[in-house]
Amino acid sequence: MKLLRKYRTYMLIFVLTVFIIGGVLGAILYQQKLQNDTESRNIEMLTTSQAAPVSFSPVIEWEKDTNAVFYEVEFFTSKPLFIKADSESPSAAFRNRRVYQNRYNPPLADFASAVLGKGPIYWRVRSMDFDDKPLTAFSKLQELWTSADIPIMNAPLPVADYNGENGRVLLYPVYHWVPQAKAKSYEIVLYDENPVTNPAARQLAVLTADMPELYDTEPRPYARGFYWRVRSFDAEGQPWGTWSEPQYYRVSPEDKWEVGVLGDSISHGGGHFSFGPADFEFSYLSYLSFPTINLSQSGDTAQMTLERFNRDVLPFHPRYLLIMTGSNSLRAGADPQGVIECLQEIQRRCLENDIRPILLTLPALNPDNIQHIFKEDTAPDWQLRLAVVNAFIRTQVHIDTAAAIPSLGGLLPTEYGLDGLHPDASGKKLMGEKINADWPQVKLQADKLLQHDEED
């Protein structure tokens, strides 16, 4: 009897222990599931499976976040039991906190060689701001299945999709690509023909870059267009892999554009520090209801815009020319009268060549943000200088794009322009909508300019 009581006691302790441990584990797992389901972001990401794997050196991709400056990506060689959506995981096998586009070639062989081709690797991503702080929670964990049968990424992957859609025709190209994991520098070559189908294709230019993006400093108005491709080099300066697939690019005066846009980086495109003209959400031309040729060049002062007018505008001879330039001059302390004189000379040359000039007012600046992002000073009386130029513009045939963006105490709000100079996607959208709204009326006003010029 005594033995039976002892047996029952042990059984009771065992059963209670099982229930307690099971309950605790169940609660933890439930809480973890609840946490993952409710806190992790649901975004579009590259999906793979055992039946549809990627290579041992793939390009992973996720939904672009135009509010992000860069992304943080984490990888796991096994599915973590405990993971928080709002913080880094100590069980991550690898992380990169500085991915500047929504595509990435991870060095899987460096941290997951034992898993490659055998089971899934897990990964997740979150958006980060300029100050290295999270903007969002991490995405849900995604499985990454790999196979040795799939060719690895052996060349940069061009991602600049200049397909002729609205806002995507630039006289000054910007070449953009996904870099290979260990690439340190790049060579970009332009050809008059496809170098794959014609190995004897003539080289038009050889350019170099130390990051996976390059702003061409030369206009490329070739009637037949051109092809470009890029290859990588390692830290020792040796070629890393092969050439990318050639990309076709064509911007030609023969296409008879009715509307041109002339200006600096605000019109060329880009913003939010890490987005360039190949990110078309950051171009107000993309939001226009009519086609345009982008004749702008990043970095222009008003004088520089004037100096390239004959070379860059006259061959295209647009019927209407939208003109926005002077922000770089004024923030550097230039005399506003000098900017006005440049605008007047551009107007004069337009009318002399049967082109109707339409001026656009200059958006406000935010010197604190310019200093924070670019580490550049702004003239202390920039507001007065800007006001003088905009007052002149408002006496001409113009569209008040500056008024389209709400200002905060006369400053460009951070929510509309992180870097204090270039309106972001939200600001560019407002500018495009303002131009669309005024376009029918301002075209009629611009037409009268030529009539008055002929009467004079």
The CATH number of residue 377's host domain is 3.40.50.1110
Instruction: Tell me: pLDDT of 3 over 90.
Output: no
- Are 277 and 425 in a shared domain? yes
Structure confidence by residue, pLDDT tens digits, 108-127: 999 999 999 999 999 999 99
CA distance 446 to 419: 33
Note whether 281 and 245 are same-domain residues.
no
Taking alpha carbons only, the member of 41, 74, 39 closest to residue 60 is 74
CA-CA-CA-CA torsion sign (292, 296, 301, 304)? negative
Alpha carbon distance 13, 449 (integer Å): 96
Indicate the number of domains in the chain: 3
Q: List pLDDT tens digits, range 361-371.
A: 999 999 999 99
Taking each helix axis from N to C end, the angle separating 336-352 and 425-455, rounded to the nearest 10 degrees, works out to: 60
- 45 inside domain: no
Predicted TM-score (pTM) above 0.85 = yes
Residues paired with 76 in a beta bridge:
122
Give residue 30's pLDDT: 42
Asked if residue 13 has pLDDT above 70, the reply is no
Query: Residue 339: is its pLDDT beyond 80?
Result: yes
Residues whose CB falls within 8 Å of the CB of residue 182, separated by 6 or more in sequence, listed in order: 107, 234, 235, 240
> Are 231 and 349 part of one and the same domain?
no
Residue-range definition of the domain harbouring residue 399: 256-455
What's the pLDDT at 264? 98
Report pLDDT digits (tens) over 149-193: 999 999 999 998 887 788 899 999 999 999 999 999 999 999 999
Do 352 and 437 fall into the same domain?
A: yes
What mean pLDDT comes out for the span 72-94? Answer: 96
Compute the distance between CA of residue 155 and CA of residue 177 in angstroms, rounded to an integer: 10
Tokens matching residue 55 = 């290579």
Q: How far apart are CA 240 and CA 230, in angstroms?
A: 11
C-alpha torsion angle, residues 442, 447, 450, 452 (rounded to 10): -80
- Which amino acid is located at 455 in the chain? E
Answer yes or no: is 338 within a domain.
yes
pLDDT in the model for residue 5: 54
What's the pLDDT at 29?
A: 44
Least confident of 12-16, 140-144, 279-283, 356-360: 12-16
Structural domain includes residue 8: no
Task: Check residue 6 and give its pLDDT.
Answer: 53
Confidence of residue 18 (pLDDT cuts 50, 70, 90): very low
How far apart CA 354 and CA 320 sit, in angstroms, is: 9
Instruction: Dig out the tokens for 111 from the structure.
Output: 């941290």
Decide: 6 and 102 in contact? Cβ < 8 Å: no
By C-alpha distance, which of 343, 345, 346, 321 is closest to 334? 343
Q: In the predicted model, what is the mean pLDDT of the chain?
A: 92
Confidence of residue 34 (pLDDT cuts 50, 70, 90): very low
Please tell me whether residues 203 and 303 are part of one structural domain.
no
274-278, 313-317, 452-456, range with the lowest pLDDT:
452-456
Nearest to 172 by CA among 308, 320, 36: 308
Q: What are phi and psi of 321, to 5 degrees?
A: -130, 115
Contact call for residues 292 and 167 (beta carbons, < 8 A):
yes
Instruction: Say yes or no: 125 and 213 in one domain.
Output: no
Q: To the nearest whole percent, how much of the chain has pLDDT over 70?
A: 90
Residue ending a domain, among 212, 232, 253, is 253
Does residue 160 lie within any of the structural domains? yes
Q: Which of 253, 274, 307 is at the close of a domain?
A: 253
CB–CB of 262/325 below 8 Å? Answer: yes
The residue with greater pLDDT, 27 or 340, is 340
- Considering the domain boundaries, does residue 34 fall inside one? no
Domain of 84, CATH number, reads 2.60.40
Cβ 311 vs Cβ 349: under 8 Å: no
**313 with 442, same domain?**
yes
pLDDT of residue 4: 47
Q: Is residue 92 part of a domain?
A: yes
Which letter, b or e, does each residue of 137-147 get, where b requires 16 or more Cβ atoms within 10 Å of its Cβ? bbbebbebbbe
- Determine contact, residues 329/301, Cβ cutoff 8 Å: yes
Instruction: Read off the CATH number of the domain in which 186 is found.
Output: 2.60.40.10
Q: What is the pLDDT of residues 244-275, one digit of tens each?
A: 999 999 999 999 999 999 999 999 999 999 99
The verdict on 89 and 178 lying in the same domain is: no
Is residue 339 located within the same domain as residue 240? no
Q: Is the pLDDT of residue 54 over 60?
A: yes
Residues 399 and 422 in one domain: yes
- Give the number of C-alpha atoms closer than 13 A to the C-alpha of residue 437, restricted to the C-beta side: 11
Last-in-domain residue among 253, 281, 303: 253
Query: Does residue 262 lie within any of the structural domains?
Result: yes
The 10 Å Cβ neighbour count of residue 383 is 17
| Residues 200 and 289 reside in one and the same domain | no
Q: Are residues 189 and 133 in the same domain?
A: no
284-331: pLDDT as tens digits: 999 999 999 999 999 999 999 999 999 999 999 999 999 999 999 999
Query: 3-class secondary structure for the chain?
Result: CHHHHHHHHHHHHHHHHHHHHHHHHHHHHHHHHHHHHHHCECCCECCCCCCCCECCCCCEEECCCCCCCEEEEEEECCCCCCCCCCCCCCCCCEEEEEECCCEECCCHHHHCCCCCCCCCEEEEEEEECCCCCECCCCECCEEECECCCCCCCCCCEECCCCCCCCCCCECCCEEEEECCCCCCEEEEEEECCCCCCCCCCCEEEEEEECCCEEECCCCCCCCCCEEEEEEEECCCCCEECCCCCCEEECCCHHHCCCEEEEECHHHHCCECCCECCCCHHHCHHHHCCCCCEECCCCCCCHHHHHHCHHHHCCCCCCCEEEEECCHHHHHCCCCHHHHHHHHHHHHHHHHHCCCEEEEECCCCCCHHHHHHHHCCCCCCCHHHHHHHHHHHHCCCCEECHHHHCCCECCECCHHHCCCCCCCCHHHHHHHHHHHHHHHHHHHHHHHHHHHHHHHC
Mean pLDDT of 34-45: 69
Q: What is the pLDDT of residue 142?
A: 97
Q: Is residue 37's pLDDT more than 60?
A: no
**CB contact at 8 A, 392 and 343:** yes
pLDDT of residue 450: 86
pLDDT category at 97 given cuts 50, 70, 90 is very high
Cβ burial of 68 (10 Å; 0-12, 13-18, 19+) is buried
Domain assignment present for residue 12? The answer is no
Q: What is the pLDDT of residue 150?
A: 97
